[in-house]
A and B are shown apart, each in its own frame.
Chain A
Amino acid sequence: MTSTDGVGLVETRTARLFDSEEPLRLAHGATLAPVEVAYETYGTLSPGRDNAVFICHALTGDAHAAGFHAGAARPGWWDNLIGPGRPLDTDRLYVVCANLLGGCQGTTGPSSVDPKTGRAYGLAFPLLDMSDFVTVHRALLAHLGIEKLLAAFGGSLGGMQVLEWALTHPEDMRHAVVIAASSRLSAQNIAFNAVAREAITRDPGFSAGQYVAEGTLPDRGLSIARMMAHITYLSEEAMADKFGRTPQLGEFEHGFGADFAVESYLRHQGESFLERFDALSYLYLTRVMDYFDPFSRAHATDAAAASGVRFLLTSFTSDWRFSSLHSRRIVRHLEHARIPVTYRDIETAGGHDSFLLEIEPYHETIRAYVDRALEEL
């Protein structure tokens, strides 16, 4: 029931949430203005304004989580989860999804124009913190007139935003749903991010971050970053199933071209990524993940423990980018603080990207949790 009868035709809207009168104050002290945020909503806000769910997207996601844009062949990135009768049932929920700060899909980011110079910010854009994403999400909620969410949802970097949000402003939500996320990147995680950033910044087209003004683009670096990252989003088993050692063109040509199907696939992933993603956003957003370590803060769980917020965490057994150990670390911290937490480790071969897939036990878990949350209203 996923390909038909979704939320239908949708549009991305934009709200200016901060301006020079009231700039966005970032965690590291800098201010930013203006800040525009691209977002979409699905379903109807109840008269009691108590059925809102906020979706935090992952590294390369956007505000278009569900439904179709006019003329588009493919739906939003979480369309299998969001829609009438789906686990996030838009007949009963009001779903909000926004492009995050520092992104490149309509929300202010490092390739936006700096009003002071008339050029793209480039590397003059301030470094961001996970809490800055939360500050902007909260401003959007205020803009939409929502005081308290039924739940915030997010996978991967999205889950990290939900964790930060629920720990620092637990009064904003009844439930926090954190999927395939991490509370602290491992050295290996940081290493992958580091190589991706090196690929971008060492591309001559990067032009010290002023590639738009210079008329160059670090396409080679960005596509290599994406190709490498994509490998980490799949499991070895998923890649073996999908490609095996299949030749791309029926038989091997024996050369250095994309002779194996998996090579051709990665090239395509790298190329198509260029159409929708910005190299500077890639730098800024991955760096936020590297530094994120919320449980290292003193009294990290006090506010959440006092608030009554409840957590659902899920991990996927074949995810090696953020393995189940990452989720279990979060469970352990919450559990030790006596914060109600439900945790499932979903058996699947899909790797890290499983959170985007329609996997029955995973979706049934979300459905059961959301149905109960609605019932308790």
Chain B
Amino acid sequence: MTLRADLALVADLVTPGSRVLDLGCGTGSLLSHLAAEKGCSGTGVEIDADAVLVAIRSGVSVIELDMDHQLGEFADHSYDVVVLSRTLQTLHRPHVVLQEMIRIAPRVILSMPNFGYWRNRVRLARGRMPMSKDIPYDWYDTPNLHHATLVDLEDLFRAVGLVPLQRIPLTVDGHPLRLPELTATWAAGSAVYVLGAA
């Protein structure tokens, strides 16, 4: 099974043999891939029932819990890395979840759609809420509770004591952006960050 482009990129950022906690693991494809290709072990967290069944069937250990309130179940420094893919914007308390993640592991890999993507800016300038491949929902029917630009997001990292060690801006197709780094805040559809504690 081929891994979704953005997950393949996350997989490349994980050190072989790591113990990985994948928050919002879906069907567990990242963890399956990491176990098979990089000798990693780990656990997924997911609440979508159908996805959980697929993850269980593929041998991934998956725990059904509410990320907003129940990450306290995981011990301090009990993983090498925590992954959160395109999910932070759906949580009630993103700042609390970020703090929990860095408590659980010394490394955080996080991806997030960029509300500041230029097409979003154009749509907003024309008086409409943005919709795009990265934000494909009507404003009234969306899992996304919070929208943030990459600039906003990096402010939050600083506020909760997280340091970006690496930033990989992505196109709307999930491939690394080939434009100069400075353009990322408007040219990237999303970005992947590797974060450590300040």
- Using a CB–CB distance below 8 Å, which chain A residues touch chain B? 310, 312, 328, 331-332, 335-336, 338, 340-345, 361, 364-365, 368-369, 371-372, 375-376
Contact = CB atoms under 8 A, between A and B. Distances in A.
Chain B at the A interface: SS class? mixed
Given A365-B53, A376-B59, 8 more contacts: A328-B73, A332-B73, A335-B73, A341-B61, A364-B53, A368-B53, A368-B54, A369-B57
Interface in B32-89: 41, 43, 49, 52-54, 56-65, 70, 73-75, 78
5 shortest interchain CB distances as A-B pairs: A368-B57, A336-B75, A368-B56, A340-B61, A343-B63
B19 interface: yes
Interface of B: 19, 41, 43, 49, 52-54, 56-65, 70, 73-75, 78
A335 B74 contact: yes
A340 B61 CA distance: 6
Contacts, number: 57
A338 B78 contact: yes
Contacts of A372: 56-59
Contacts of A338: 19, 78
Nearest to B44: A342
A6 B53 CA distance: 25
24 contacts: A328-B65, A328-B73, A331-B63, A332-B73, A335-B43, A335-B63, A335-B73, A335-B74, A335-B75, A335-B78, A338-B19, A341-B43, A342-B56, A343-B62, A343-B63, A344-B52, A345-B64, A345-B65, A361-B49, A369-B56, A371-B57, A372-B56, A372-B58, A372-B59
A353 B61 CA distance: 26
B31 to A, nearest CB: 11
Contacts of A368: 53-54, 56-57
A311 to B, nearest CB: 9
A343 B57 contact: no
Contacts of B64: 343-345
Nearest to B54: A368
Contacts of A331: 63, 73
B147 to A, nearest CB: 30
A68 to B, nearest CB: 31
A342 B62 contact: yes
Contacts of A343: 62-65
Contacts of B78: 335-336, 338
A340 B62 CA distance: 9
Nearest to A329: B73
A342 B53 CA distance: 11
Contacts of B74: 335-336
Nearest to A339: B61
Contacts of A369: 56-57
B161 to A, nearest CB: 24
- Which of B56, B73, B75 has most chain A Cβ within 10 Å? B56
